Amino acid sequence: MPPEATAARARVGAELRRLRVAAGMSGDQVARTLGWSQSKVSRAEGGLHSITVSDVADLLAVYGADGELRAELLGATAADNGEGAWIVRTGRDDGHPDPGAAPGFGTARIRHHQPVQLPGLLRTREYARAVAQATGDSDPDARADAWMRRQEVLTTVDGVRYEVVLDARALLLAVAPVEAVRHQILSLAVRARRLPRLDLRVIPIGRPLPVFASTGFMMYDFRAAGSRPLVRVECPAGDAFFAAPDDITRYAALFAALQSAALDPTESAGYLRSLAADLERYWPEPAAAAS
């Protein structure tokens, strides 16, 4: 086994132990929950034996870990095992992905394309609550608060570089009152100018596209030596992950093409302000919305 693979196992194991302790669970409790032996939990945390992506996903579900931290741990495990693709179910009754905790040991860069909805890392609290309610979340306020905490990754000293290509049509979903949506759009324009780690590019409504992605996706680059990029595609029932080099190359080329098709960050901020000022043009009349 190459040294970097051993380092990956040790890194994953240490993080799994940290998560278990933070959850206030003993190894025996975790083993009983998953139907494992206690020694299997110990081996996973010790980093001396190989562990599957599926097993890591099961442990993360027990600890309530999601978001970038889950991607990091699954990606490191896949790099160690040579697994190229896998699916992880959300395990949530409402089928809506958890925002989860902030990254645990090092997401350096996220490339994110969204053609249908506004990413959680860019939502205002009011808009985040409205989205949670519209997707059937049992506690929209708690979900919105969780997203607000997650957004700290964009403002901390060692924060993540976040590159987003957003289809403007995603901002026209009537999940909130028109003034709440307007405030959300204007908030994006402000963040595009003020957050140095945010690269926000918007594809305007009606712009001809030489390239198209029918689903949103996220690409993660991690800080740890020997780690590999990872692609995550979200859906209500779970997430699909891709780590094979050919898949990473394909998604990287697609994201670069989408960036080129979009307005640059300065143009995007101006477009967002114009869109907010003219929002009623795209909004249904109250009578039409009620019919």
pLDDT in the model for residue 133: 92
CATH number of 84-290: 3.30.870
**Residue ranges of the domains in the chain?**
1-65, 84-290
Return all residues near 263 (Cβ < 8 A) that are at least 6 apart.
201, 202, 203, 204, 271
Q: What is the pLDDT of residue 90?
A: 62
Both tokens of 64, joined, read 């309530």
Distance (Å, whole) CA 68 – CA 152 = 13
Q: Where are the beta strands (DSSP E) in 54-131?
A: 85-89, 107-114
Q: What pLDDT score does 228 carry?
A: 84
CATH topology of domain 1-65: 434 Repressor (Amino-terminal Domain) (1.10.260)
Distance, CA of 91 to CA of 93 (rounded, Å): 7
Per-residue pLDDT at 289 = 45
Determine the pLDDT at residue 286.
60
- pTM recorded for the entire structure: 0.81
Q: Which residues contact 188 (CB under 8 A, 6 or more apart)?
A: 118, 122, 171, 200, 272
Q: pLDDT tens track of the chain, all 291 residues?
A: 444 446 778 888 988 999 999 999 999 999 999 999 999 999 999 887 888 888 998 999 899 877 778 888 888 888 788 888 888 876 544 334 444 444 444 788 999 999 989 999 999 999 999 999 998 888 999 989 988 988 888 888 777 899 999 999 999 988 999 999 999 999 999 999 899 999 999 999 988 888 888 889 999 998 877 778 999 998 777 788 999 999 999 999 999 999 999 999 999 999 999 999 999 988 876 644 444
